[in-house]
Structures are given as C-alpha cells and as structure tokens.
Structure 1
Amino acid sequence: MSKRIIIVLLGLTILFLPVSLFAITAQEIVREMDAQATFETSYATGSIKTVDRFGTKESTFKAWSRGTTDSLIEFTSIAERGQKILRTKGSLYLFYPDAEELIRMQGAALRQSVLGSDLSYEDMTEEKTTLDDYDVTLDGSETVRGRDCHILILTAKTRQVAYPVQKIWVDKETFLTWKGEYATNHGRLLKKMEVLDTLVIDGRTLPKETRIEDAMKSNSATWMMLDTLEVNIPLESNLFTLENLTW
C-alpha cells in the first residue's frame, strides 16, 4: 500500500472519529472562562441597587484590579464614602474610615452581605483562580438568554471558599458565565445570579448588569451595574497594599 493511500486513510479515520474525542474538557472551559474575565489591569465605576422589604437602596463605587488576585473597591456614595474592600495575596480586608478600622475577612465571613445587599464580599472580589479551589465536571448543555451554554458543577477542594458547590452556565462561544447557582455541600441553595446585559471590550464579552438573589433573604434582589470600564491601563504600584487601604 502506497504511503499516499495510507495518509488518506488516516485522514478519513480522523475525520469520522466521534466528536466527543475532541470535545473541550470542563477544566479547559473554566480556564478560558477565567482568562476572558482577567486583564492585566482594569478600572471601573458602577452602582449597586438593592430592593427589599425596606425599600430601595443604591450605592456607587469605583474599582481597580490587577491580574487574577488583586482587586480594590472604594465606595463613593455619600453614606458609604471611603469604605474600601481590598483583596490581595489570597486575603480580603475591609476598611471603615470613620472608625479607622481594618478587618480581615476569611472563611464563612466572605459570604456576609456588602452594604445590606444580596452581594457578598466573595461575589464582589472573587479571584480568577477557580481551578485552584474547585474540582469541576461537565453536566450537559442548556440555552440561557438565547445563548448555548455548557453547564458546569464546581465542588470545593477546601473549606476556605464561600460556596462549597457551584452550578454555572458558561457561554460556549464567549465563555461568559450567564447564570449561577451557589449551594452548600448538602444542596441547600445559598444564592442565584444571572447576567442581564453585557458589554464588549478588548474583544471580550463581559457582564454590564447582573442580578443577584440571596436565597437566605426573602423578597430581596440586587442589581450590580457597570457604568465605565477601562482595561490594561497604568496603575500605581502600591495600590493593592494595606498601607494604601488605610491612607
């Protein structure tokens, strides 16, 4: 049999192999999901609106990030002006200017509410290192807001994360997480999230408006909205330090 015929037969064999042999893995999906949401640096402004039995409350903020692990949020609305949340080197800190108090948050405390909203400190500052903290498996596909999505189940490797189990719907094309359900190890729902609007920057699709519901609260929902977003911009080298947090 000639070498050319062998090459053709090999090509046909590969062509008709089951598609599943070339399917993307759960780990590859999560890796790309994190990569699409991560920039060298970023600066954003936005707002958080919470509607519950007490009425409607809105707070504004500005936020900076660097890579996968550094983020800083500073609230700019009158009632919360100067309050800051810093996440760096795997630790999260809160600063209250009125009391000049610095608090380190960890473990279950990361699930505590930010300004009475349905958002937790983990939600607002989570690191883009998902595979370090979770085992992940594929659980089929589903359409969300007209987009074909992978369904992934994330199971925590450690107790140091806020959500032991996550079920997320990740866009097969853009790798945006359109929807998420967050639960305990025993299946008790803690929180739900859904992206309502998006923006495209640097060729990537990102959340512009997100709705969050804390299952532990009744008749409450929070909307997180971005007004502006700049990426890959110069930032001060000491921005993500405790010294800068308390300045």
Structure 2
Amino acid sequence: MKYLYYLLFLIACTPAVMAQTAQEIVDRADANASFDHATMQATITSTDAFGTKVYETQIQQSGRDDSLIVFLAGENKGQKILRTPNELFVYYPDADNVVRLKGAALRQSAFGDVSYEDLANSKTRSDRFNLTLVSTENVDGFTTWVIDLVAKNKGESYPKQRLWIDQATYTIVRAEYRSDSGKLLRELRANDIVKRGNQFIATQLTFQDATKKNSSSTLRITKIDLDTPLPTNTFTVANLSF
C-alpha cells in the first residue's frame, strides 16, 4: 500500500510544465531566440580534414526575420550575409558585389558546417513542422523535453528533427537533423547559457556534419548587447556595400 501512496504523491507533485504541449514548448523556445534588437560579437572556429579556420564576426538581429552577419577577420573578412523576411543576400568585398542567393546556391557553406540554407528560414518551427512531445531526458546536465519534428511540406532541408529543450530556460541544448529517410545529417550542441533581461542565450554552439569525418564548427559569443537600438537601414541591401 505504501507504494501506491508513493505513486500518488509523485503524480500530484509532477511539475506543471509537464502539462505543456509540444507546440507551446517549441513556440516559447523560438520566442526566446528572437530579439527586438541585438548586436553580438562571436568567434567561429571550423575544423575539417583540411585544418582549422577561425572567423571573427558581428551578428545583428531584429525580430525573427532580419539578421546581418559581418565577417570582421579571417579569410572572409568584409563579407556580409543579410537575411530579410523572404530573401538572403551576400556581399563580396573583393568584387564589391551583392548576390541574392536562391535554389542550389543556398546549399553552399556560409562558414564551416553551416550552410546559407541553415540561415535562410525564419518561420517558426510550429508553422513548418508537426510536433510530438516524446519524453523528458537529462542531457549534458540539462533537464529537457525531447520533441520530434516532421515537416509539413516538401522542401525542408531537414524534414525530420529531434530537439532537446531545457525546461528551465526554453533553450535548445541539443538537436539532430535528419533526411526524410531518417539518415542523420547534422547535430547541434549548445551550452554556457546566460540570461539577458527575460531571455536566455546559449553562448557556445557546436555544429557537426554527420556526413563528414571530424568536421565541426563552434560559435562562441563573446559580447551581447540587447539594449542599443539598431539604425533603421541596418537590414537593407543598400547598406551592405558600406
């Protein structure tokens, strides 16, 4: 009988967070990663069979749709990547030329194991995927929800995904990205979470290409400014060549 009482006690004490749906959890995770205005400094270290490359970048973001990555040092110095609601542009300083990327060009590497396609889609995950709350799991020191995603429509780069979302901060701390057949294509690990205002930011993210041996890219955020508004022309094509 005492085991029955113990079981009833556990059920009664189950955290309210368990009652949340997969969509509520994922929507909150997406909202946590969207900023009214943000400027960050980040170092990207990419390693593959040919060696290691280091890039110094500035990342600016406004809302879900607009972002700008500027390469400050490294072999891509001066290059800029602009994402607007429906388009992706790259500025090449050597040619002083702006190119709008589309189609197969989006699959090219932006830096290391991150493609332009990875940067392009700004729609919420609940708009693009059917979501299923699978379980809870302790991973890398975090207590997480485990959520499976299956694409609603064709055209997704990774039609099947699994996310591990930290229950305390609604930060994605691990992710697996798979093909329609279930083949693992890419993995993400995130840690070193800091709080800024009401939001939480993982300051270290490591992307691993599962189709290549010993290939990974680690982004380390070294400075975060969520207080300074951005100029109105920050996310315009005209601003890229300045």
* The one of 54, 61, 70 aligned to 1:65: 61
Partner of 2:26: 30
Match for residue 218 of structure 2 among 203, 219, 223: 223
Counterpart AA for 1:99: A
CA, structure 1 residues 114+40, in 2 after alignment: closer, same or farther (shift >3 Å)? Answer: same
Work out which of the residue numbers 130, 154, 165 in structure 2 matches 1:170.
165
What letter matches 2:215 in structure 1?
S
Residues 180, 109 of structure 1: CA spacing in aligned structure 2 closer, same or farther, 3 A cutoff? farther
Find the aligned partners of 1:188 and 1:196 in 2 and give their Cα distance. 25
Contact 2:189/2:207 (CA < 8 Å) preserved in 1?
Answer: yes
Residues 240 and 53 from structure 1, CA distance in 2 versus in 1: closer, same or farther, beyond 3 angstroms? Answer: same
Which letter maps to 1:163? Answer: Y
CA drift at 1:19: 8.2
CA distance in 1, matches of 2:154, 2:101: 14
Deviates more, 1:182-191 or 1:102-111: 102-111
Cα deviation for residue 208 of structure 1 reads 0.7
Distance change in 2, residues 1:125/1:45 (3 Å): farther
Q: What is the alpha-carbon distance in structure 2 between the residues aligned to residue 218 and residue 19 of structure 1?
A: 41
Could you say what secondary structure the match of 2:187 adopts?
strand
AA of the residue aligned to 2:62: R
* Contact persistence 2:82–2:235 (CA under 8 A): yes
2:46 counterpart residue number: 50
Q: Aligned pair in 2 of structure 1 residues 95, 161: CA closer, same or farther (>3 Å)?
A: farther
> Which of residues 190, 195, 202 is equivalent to 1:195?
190
Q: How big is the shift at 1:58?
A: 0.3
2:180 counterpart letter in structure 1:
N
Task: Report the counterpart of residue 3 of structure 1 in structure 2.
Answer: none
User: Which of the numbers 108, 115, 130 marks the counterpart of 1:112?
Assistant: 108
Residue in 2 that maps onto 1:180: 175
Residue 135 of structure 1, CA deviation: 1.8
Counterpart residue type for residue 101 of structure 1 = N
- The corresponding residue for 2:151 is 156
Letter of the aligned partner of 1:219 in structure 2? N
Residues of 1 paired with 2:179 and 2:106: CA distance? 14
Measured in 2, the distance between the counterparts of 1:21 and 1:125 equals 31
Structure 2 length as normaliser, TM-score? 0.87
Task: Give the structure-1-normalised TM-score.
Answer: 0.85
4+ runs deviating over 6 angstroms:
18-22
Label 1:237 to 1:142 Cα distance change in 2 as closer, same or farther (>3 A): same
Aligned residue for 1:102? 98
184-193 vs 230-239, which moves further = 230-239
Q: Distance in 2 between matches of 1:110 and 1:179?
A: 24
Tell me the residue number matched to 1:147: 142
Tell me, yes or no, if the aligned pair for 1:110 and 1:162 is still in contact at 8 Å. Answer: no
Identity of aligned residues (%): 36
Moved more, 68-77 or 160-169: 160-169
5+ residue gaps in structure 2? 1-10
Give the residue type in structure 1 aligned to 2:82. Answer: L
Are residues 112 and 159 of structure 1, via their aligned partners in 2, closer, same or farther at CA, if it must alter by over 3 Å? farther
**CA deviation string 1:168-192 (max 9, x = no partner):** 1001121010000001111111100
The equivalent of 1:9 in structure 2 is none
What is the aligned-residue RMSD (CA, Å)?
2.4
Alignment match, 2:3? none
Residue pair 2:128, 2:151 contacting (<8 A) in 1 also: yes
1:43 counterpart letter in structure 2: T
Q: Alignment partner of 1:162: what SS? A: coil
